[in-house]
Amino acid sequence: MNKILLSSQAYSNLLGLSPKELLLLSKAFNQLEENPELGLKLWGREDLFLYETATETKVVYKLFPGQVQILALKPAKEFHLPARAKISAIVLAAGRTNYGDAQPICSVTEAFLAAGIDDLIVVLGYQAEQAKEALKDKDVKVIVNPEYEHGLSRSLRYGLRMLSRDTQAVLLTLGNRPFIKPGVVANLVETYQQGKASVVAPTYFRVRGHPVVFDALLVPELLRARGNVGGRGVLYHHRRELRQVEVEDAGVIERIDSQLN
The Cα–Cα gap between 89 and 201 comes to: 14
Q: What percent of the chain lies above the pLDDT cut of 90?
A: 34
pLDDT at residue 112, as a whole number: 94
Inter-residue long-range contacts of 37-44, CB under 8 Å, 24+ positions, other chains counted: 37/63, 38/220, 38/221
Q: Chain-centre distance of CA 82, in angstroms?
A: 18
Please answer whether residues 77 and 13 qualify as being in contact, where contact means their C-beta atoms are separated by less than 8 angstroms: no
Q: Looking at the 3D structure of the chain, how many domains does it have?
A: 2
- Are both 171 and 60 inside the same structural domain? no
Based on the fold, state whether residues 116 and 227 are members of the same structural domain. yes
Residue 77 is predicted with a pLDDT of 57
Confidence of residue 259 (pLDDT cuts 50, 70, 90): very low
Q: Any idea what the CATH number is for the domain that residue 32 is in?
A: 3.30.2310.20
Tell me the average pLDDT across 228-239: 87
**245, 198: one domain:** yes
pLDDT, mean of residues 207-236: 90
Q: Omega into 146 within 30° of 0, i.e. cis?
A: no
Share of the chain above pLDDT 70, in %: 88
Q: Are strands 48-52 and 58-64 parallel, antiparallel or unpaired?
A: antiparallel
- Do 108 and 211 lie in one domain? The reply is yes
Question: Quick one: pLDDT at residue 207?
Answer: 95
Do 102 and 41 lie in one domain? The reply is no
pLDDT band at 130; cut points 50, 70, 90: confident
pLDDT tens per residue, range 157-191 = 999 999 988 888 999 999 889 999 999 999 999 99
> pLDDT tens for residues 131-141?
888 888 888 99
The pLDDT value recorded for residue 180 is 94
Render pLDDT for 55-111 as a digit per residue (tens, 0 to 9): 677 888 888 888 888 888 877 654 343 445 689 999 998 877 655 456 788 889 999
pLDDT tops 50 at residue 258: no
Taking the C-alpha atoms of residue 250 and residue 240, their distance in angstroms, rounded to an integer, is: 25
- For 128: left if phi > 0, alpha if psi spans -120 to 50, otherwise beta; the answer is alpha
DSSP string, 27-68: HHHHHHHH-TT-SEEPTT-TTEEEEE-TT--EEEEEEETTEE
pTM for this predicted structure: 0.67
**Are 236 and 121 part of one and the same domain?**
yes
Give the pLDDT confidence score for residue 200 in this predicted structure.
95
Per the structure, the complete domain to which residue 127 belongs is given by 86-252
Burial classification of residue 47, based on how many CB atoms lie within 10 Å of its CB (0-12 exposed, 13-18 middle, 19 or more buried): exposed
Residue 258 lies in a domain: no
Q: What is the CATH number of the domain that holds 134?
A: 3.90.550.10
Q: Identify the burial level of 188 via C-beta atoms within 10 angstroms of its C-beta, where 0-12 means exposed, 13-18 middle and 19 or more buried.
A: buried
pLDDT at 119 over 90: yes
Average pLDDT, the chain: 83
3-state class (DSSP) for residue 245: strand
Check residues 113 and 78 and name the one with the higher pLDDT.
113
251: phi then psi, degrees, rounded to nearest 5 = -60, -20
Alpha helices, H only, the chain: 8-14, 19-34, 103-114, 128-135, 152-160, 182-193, 219-223, 232-237
